[in-house]
A and B are shown apart, each in its own frame.
Chain A
Amino acid sequence: MFDLSSIAVFIPRAVVQGIPLLYGATGEILTEKSGNLNLGIPGIMYVGAISGVIGAQFYEQSAGGNLSAFPAIMIPLLFSLIGSALMGLLYCFLTVTLRANQNVTGLALTTFGVGFGNFFGASLVKLTGSETASISLGATSSFFCAKLPFADKLGWFGQIFLSYGFLAYLAIIIALVAAFILKRTRLGLHLRAVGENPATADAAGINVVKYKYGATVIGSMIAGLGGLYYVLDYINGVWSNNGFGDRGWLAIALVIFAVWRPNIGIFASILFGGLYIFSSYNNTGMDLAANELYKMLPYVVTIIVLIIVSARKKKENQPPESLGLPYFREER
């Protein structure tokens, strides 16, 4: 099992599992750094996925079989970004402007988003009057899955590092950029200040509302891309209801596991991806029950990290101090 060729098979499978989680986690880290605990991420990822699908469906229908690469990629991408940005805006409007409870709003957003995704996933074909029986966007998906042309010729190296669609690399780039912004720029410093102590940030002249909106909406857009990657790359454009499963919650778990650092999130997401498929990889038909226990691993590991982080009380590893708390200037 541990020779090079099987590792070269296992790692890419772990990576493609990890990418949606990485998108979700990076988005949620940015959001949480502003003090918003957005439990709507699972719903937002569904909306990001289905919005992209809707865009792709329209384009495929209007283009009638002659797709060109640029719009085939840009239209779904744009739709997806807009869909998830709207969800982020809604969350912010309710929690920041209307000061609603973050947990309640997030859970409602997830109910809505998952319902939205599944509903349009099941009825889009009927509503647009297409001839196919279910959503199948193989043509669009082939653009999203396109690999570097010479990847196959490089043996195991190509398999491990070069065998992915462009969204996978984008996820890593976004995570690195987010890590850099959070750690090394003034913008990141201000954002962290808002998440740690909005009253102090406010007193220092930082526009708390603007930062919260900005971080949450951008975070939502990034998370939505995870849904888009899943549906147009990972499963090749074939929608199945609830196919995305609990990956949204796993992304929230990943935030903790990565101790709120997007760059750690890159490796952690691959590890989570590996844990996620470990059960099926290990499936020799002998012990199906044990597989169900393996699926528990990411969550158990996350809890252990959560406990260790809280017990060690290292300042730089803590959740943002005001995470989940509303901020109202006149209530200080």
Chain B
Amino acid sequence: MNGKTHTPLIHVSKRDALPWQKAWLIRGGSIVAALIVCALITTMLTGENPLQVYGSMLSGAFGTGRRIWQLLRNIAILLTISLAVTPAFKMRFWNIGAEGQVMAGALACTVTMLYLGDKLPNAVLILIMLIASVAAGALWAFIPAFFKAKWNTNETLFTLMMNYIATQLIAFFIVWKYPNGTGTMGIVNQDTRAGWLPRIGGNEFLLIILVSAVITAVMYVYLGYTKHGYELSVVGESERTARYVGIKVGKVVLRTLILSGAVCGVVGFLLVAGVHHSISTNIAGGQGFTAVMVSWLAHFNPIMMVFSSFLLCFLGQGADQISTDLGLDHAFGDILTGVILFFIIGSEFFINYKLNFRPKEERKGRAGNV
């Protein structure tokens, strides 16, 4: 491809593991660069002072006590979905169907809440709702996993399609249940509050945050310190090695995906029973997709995911505030989030690879720059 003895100007080689401080320095740098670009874009479009833009962003996330709690709850939800998809990703099973798995769980939860609402004591009802959600989420992940294990069916495309089937099922349910409605559903059991999750100490967000903290800890142990966790990382590294050492790959795929879907089901349960007390086709709100990025940015490490989900939630909420303050359409937040994601995604390259410049031209001063 190149000439016979031609050395390329830049030669790329894989780095050994970079010390984590340096890795985070690069990431931090990329976020700063992204924020500068975002401020430039905002200033260009609106003529506002960039510092004021950052002010809006901070106040959007931390401005009031309620906003902080909301931020924490959003982090908790996003984090839990990210944790759910992580075991599958570690296995290199690209489950981008978390959206659908959450929706399936939410739908099962709503149905049980609606139909068993007055017939059971609240504790039993909530337990049944939880079981139904977990089962539905697990089923939604099991279907693509089954075909992956049996015929190696492409899981990315399969799980993607399952999302829209779940969306339509919810749409169907709402219209079927309320044929004269506008396609939206009111609050379920508003009078009796049957099936609503209790508030801990009067705080509506705390329970969800605690649940996600527990799931984070459990997932950390599961992935790092159990036989299951080990098996699935072997399958992810090399399927042939896994077969050779006697791991039943199909079984691991099914088991992991059922777990993945079950945790998504829990999120669906939390969203319905703990947050909205209702359901809409938008209940997962794209977080199933965001979770893919959260998990990948954290290199599939549950503890790091706390930070990456914080980052994305903060950006989302902050960008939303910018749009409100400056009177822009709310889609502006998506543009900013997109720009920042591009920078972070790009920065991973400089963590994993090293640029070696052609030595003859003594211009090595630039090599260290990013």
- Enumerate chain A interface residues (CB-CB to B < 8 A): 37, 39, 90, 93-94, 98-101, 103-105, 107-119, 121-123, 127, 205, 207, 241, 246, 249, 252-253, 256, 288-293, 295-296, 299-300, 302-303, 306-307, 310-311, 313, 319, 323-324, 328, 330-331
| Residue from A107, A289, A306 in contact with B175 in the complex, judged by beta carbons closer than 8 Å | A289
A117 to chain B: closest residue by CB: B331
Interface residue count for B (Cβ, 8 Å)?
53
A249 to B286, CA, bound (A): 13
User: Contact partner of A330 among B14, B153, B292, CB < 8 A?
Assistant: B14
Is the pair B162, A112 in contact by a Cβ cutoff of 8 Å?
no
Chain A contact surface mostly? helix
Q: How many A-B residue pairs have CB under 8 A?
A: 165
Q: Does B346 make an interface contact (CB < 8 A)?
A: yes
Cβ contact within 8 Å between B293 and A324: no
Q: Is the CB of A114 within 8 A of B331?
A: yes
In contact, B341 and A108 (Cβ under 8 angstroms): yes
A115 pairs with B333, CB closer than 8 A: yes
B153 touching A310 by the CB < 8 A rule?
yes
Q: List 18 A-B contacts (CB under 8 A).
A: A93-B346, A94-B345, A98-B345, A101-B296, A103-B96, A104-B292, A104-B293, A115-B335, A116-B334, A116-B338, A127-B45, A252-B157, A289-B176, A289-B179, A299-B165, A300-B165, A306-B153, A328-B14
* Inter-subunit contact B353/A99 (CB<8 Å): yes
B172 engages A293 (CB within 8 Å): yes
**Identity of the chain A residue whose Cβ is nearest the Cβ of B291 in the assembled complex:** A107
Residue contact A122 to B331, C-beta cutoff 8 Å: yes
A297 (CB) vs chain B CBs: closest residue: B168
| Interface residue B160 (Cβ < 8 Å from any Cβ of A) | yes
A111 and B153 form a contact (CB under 8 A):
no
Q: Are A303 and B333 in contact (CB under 8 A)?
A: no
CB proximity of A38 to chain B, nearest CB, Å? 12
Could you say which of A100, A110, A300 has the most chain B C-beta atoms within 10 Å of its C-beta? Answer: A100
Interface mask (B145-168 → A, CB under 8 Å = 1, otherwise 0): 001001111101110111011001
Whether the pair A119, B332 counts as a contact (CB closer than 8 A) is yes
In the complex, whether B133 has a CB less than 8 A from a CB of chain A is no
**Mask for B22-56, Cβ within 8 A of A = 1, else 0?**
00000000000000000000000100000000000
Contact at B349–A99, with CB atoms within 8 Å?
A: yes
Let me know if B337 is at the binding interface, CB within 8 A. yes
Q: How far is the CA of A90 from the CA of B346 in the complex (A)?
A: 10
Chain A residues near B160 (CB-CB < 8 A)? 39, 249, 252-253
Kindly list chain A residues whose C-beta atoms are within 8 Å of the C-beta of B338. Answer: 108-109, 111-113, 115-116
Indicate if the CB atoms of A295 and B331 lie closer than 8 Å.
no
A110 — which chain B residues lie within 8 A by C-beta? 289
Q: How far is the CA of A90 from the CA of B343 in the complex (A)?
A: 11
Q: Considering the complex, which residues of chain B in the window 76-129 have a beta carbon less than 8 Å from any beta carbon of chain A? A: 94, 96
Say yes or no for B169: interface residue by CB 8 A criterion: yes
Q: Which residues of A contact B176 (CB under 8 A)?
A: 289, 292
A252 to B293 CA separation, bound complex (whole angstroms): 20
B190 CB-CB contact with A under 8 Å? no
Partner of B346 from A94, A111, A205, A299 at Cβ < 8 Å:
A94
Known contacts A94-B345, A293-B172, A103 near B339 by CB under 8 Å: no
With a cutoff of 8 Å between Cβ atoms, the chain A residues found around residue B200 in the complex are: none
B222 at the interface (CB under 8 A from A): no
Q: In the assembly, what is the distance between CA of A311 and CA of B11, in Å?
A: 42
B342→A107 contact, CB < 8 A:
no
B1 touches A107 (CB 8 A): no
- Which residues of the partner chain B approach A122 to less than 8 Å between Cβ atoms? 329, 331
Considering the chains assembled together, what is the distance between the CA atoms of A310 and B150 in angstroms? 9
The answer to whether A119 touches B342 (Cβ under 8 A) is no
Given A111-B338, A114-B334, A119-B332: 7 more A-B contacts, CB < 8 Å: A112-B341, A116-B331, A249-B164, A253-B160, A296-B165, A296-B168, A328-B14
Residues in chain A near residue B345, CB distance under 8 A: 94, 98, 100-101, 104-105, 108
Please tell me if the beta carbons of B14 and A98 are within 8 angstroms of each other in the complex: no
Which A-chain residue is minimally distant from B335 (CB atoms)? A115
Residues of B close to A111: CB separation below 8 A: 286, 289-290, 334, 337-338, 341
Contact partners of A112 in chain B: CB under 8 A: 334-335, 337-339, 341-342
Name B328's closest neighbour in chain A (CB-CB). Answer: A123
Question: A207 and B1: CB pair below 8 A?
Answer: yes
B237: Cβ under 8 A from any A Cβ: no
CB–CB A310/B147 < 8 A? yes
CB distance from B15 to the nearest CB of A (A): 12
Residues on B with C-beta less than 8 A from A114 are 331, 334
Q: Are B162 and A303 in contact, with the CB atoms below 8 A?
A: yes
A-B pairs with lowest CB-CB distance, top 5: A115-B334, A112-B338, A118-B331, A289-B176, A122-B329
Tell me the smallest distance from the CB of B293 to a CB of chain A, in Å: 5
A98 to B331, Cβ gap below 8 A? no
